[in-house]
Structure 1
Amino acid sequence: MSESAASDIVEFGFQIDATQGETAVNVAALDHVIAPVLGEIGNGFSIPPSHRRMAVRFRQEPPSPRQQPGQQLWDVFVGVRQRGDAIVLGEEVLYAVERAGVRFEQMAQIVLTNGCQEAAF
């Protein structure tokens, strides 16, 4: 079991093939879908509290066969301070995003404990 301490940060990363305009739409959709899950299950809140929950960056990589013309690979990160089972939270986030039909290449999850929190975002 992956029980998180109250001071742990759980960071989810989504890779999305999209144009810059599509990325903005996908980020808004992810935020809309994930926020209720984090509030209900993870007792989540923004890290740091004065910043948005999402961070987005472009990653220069060779195009994948699935990319459409004009699309690039984008990383979207969601970080929350969380109590409880990080695996259950990750599964619920994944299921919510899939049910909502938000398209992404892959999702990763990292639990950052007290000594590693400076690596978040």
Structure 2
Amino acid sequence: MKHKLEIVLGIGIAAAVIVTLLFYILNAGTIELSELFSILIVIILVISAVYILWDRIKNMRKGFPAQDERLKITNYRACYYGFIASIWSAVGAPLLSGILFDYELPGHYVTAVVVLCGGLAFMISYLYLALKGK
């Protein structure tokens, strides 16, 4: 019962985020680069959340627990890889921007890069580890 409640709440939150994002896009007018990064971050996070919810629903329909030990370990590893990617992107983004473009990134761009890299690393590593089965 606990897993069903988590899945229903996850679906509700994902739907609310998608509706809010659609309202934002429709009322934004022209979208600048910083807004595009924000939209991309939200889309990546929603896609990864929907995939995780779909995987848990699939397990429950087969009669398995929503999250077994293998998926917990997969989630922990993917979170670790996302955390490491976030740390190194926080160091690397301003450094590379300064070296390659001679431009100092503002703080909100660095934050966007950190969240984007961490989210991408989590999503890619979770998909890889879940499909690999280790």
- What TM-score comes out, normalization by structure 2 length? 0.27
Which structure's residues are more often strand, by fraction?
A: 1
Q: Which has the higher contact order (CA 8 A, sep 6+)?
A: 1
Query: Whose Rg is larger?
Result: 2
- What TM-score comes out, normalization by structure 1 length? 0.29
